[in-house]
Amino acid sequence: MTAPAYQNSPTRGARKWSPEVESGGISQFSPVSGGTAWRGKSSLTSIPKGAGYNRQNMERTLAIIKPDAVERKFAGQIIQRIEEAGFRVAAMRLVTLSKPVAEGFYAVHRERPFFPHLTAFMSSGPAVVMVLETDGAIKKWRDLMGATDPAKAAPGTLRAAFGSGIERNATHGSDAPDTAAFEIGYFFPGVDLV
Ligand code: ATP
Ligand code: MG
């Protein structure tokens, strides 16, 4: 695994939190500051300025390894791809969604004809729900996943490699900062994402 540059910093963890550090700290970069999961402070606030870690571009996204991929034992390979691509896994849960929870998560698609089947599929077995963090995480994760339909996804993408149909497409990713904030708060309410 290639660790993000900021994790290699010799100064990581070397300084305690202070108002000076906080003034340039994580509370100013978070795209999820409106989300219920965000508290504005985490261990990242101890990283001083000039440590090679550009907080201004940091972003978080909600990723799911869907029940089809977990059932087919692809979760390990997908997490390895995530780490190799340079994401930091800020939070992770293995959950079997209830039907109402799946319906709430995909509420934006409530009127779509595939909604009942999609939410039945998403609640059919365990899924791995993660918060991924890196520069431009939302787009970077969607690029790594590939197109919604695995048959149309570019070679080398996760959906091309692990998806088996337009519904059973292995992974989910937030599509914008506001949906990322909603989705992270949906699965990690009140959690400090260190
Ligand atoms: P996701 O939101 O899961 O990351 P996406 O943003 O690529 O996927 P959406 O249009 O948001 O695609 O669709 C949500 C999910 O609904 C898809 O990932 C897929 O599982 C399912 N889906 C989308 N289109 C269809 C369809 N035509 N038939 C069946 N299922 C579909
Ligand atoms: Mg979507």
SS3 at position 139: helix
Which pLDDT score is estimated for 56? 65
Catalytic pick among 66, 88, 159, 172: 172
pLDDT in tens, 153-167: 999 999 999 999 999
Cα separation, 169 vs 172, in Å, equals: 8
- Other beta carbons less than 10 A from residue 1's beta carbon: 7
* Average confidence score pLDDT of the chain: 80
pLDDT for 192 equals 79
- pLDDT (tens digit per residue) in 108-133: 999 999 999 999 999 999 999 999 99
User: Looking at ligand 1, which residue's alpha carbon is closest to its atom 31?
Assistant: 167
Residue 23 — pLDDT band, cuts 50, 70, 90? very low
> In the prediction, which pLDDT does 103 show?
98
Which tens digit of pLDDT belongs to each residue from 76-102?
A: 999 999 999 999 999 999 999 999 999
Ligand 1 surroundings by CB, under 6 angstroms: 109, 114, 118, 148, 166-167, 169, 172-173, 175
Q: What is the value of pTM for the model shown? A: 0.77
Q: Annotated catalytic, 172?
A: yes
- What pLDDT does residue 193 have? 77
The domain ranges of the chain are: 57-187
Q: What is the 3-state secondary structure (H, E, C) of 83-99?
A: HHCCCEEEEEEEECCCH
Distance CA 176, CA 184 (A): 12
- What pLDDT does residue 13 have? 34
> Residue 5's pLDDT band (boundaries 50, 70, 90)?
very low
Q: Note the ligand closest to the C-alpha atom of 173.
A: 1
> Cα separation of 180 and 187, whole Å?
11
Which strands make up the sheet holding 58-65, listed edge to edge? 88-95, 127-135, 58-65, 171-173
**CA distance to 131, 138, 148, 153, 183, per residue, from 62 (Å):** 5, 8, 16, 20, 6
Distance 4 CA to ligand 1 centre (A): 30
Q: Which residue has the tokens 């080398």?
A: 156
To test the pocket of ligand 1, the residue of 106, 122, 148, 158 to mutate (highest count of ligand atoms within 8 Å of its CB) is 148
Q: Give the residue, by CA position, lying nearest to ligand 1 atom 9.
A: 148
Q: 17 or 127, which is more confident?
A: 127
Q: What is the pLDDT of residue 16?
A: 33
pLDDT(25) > 80: no
Paired strand residues for 89: 132
Q: What is the CATH number of domain 57-187?
A: 3.30.70.141
Residue 86 CA to chain centroid, in angstroms?
A: 12
Between 185 and 6, residue with greater pLDDT = 185
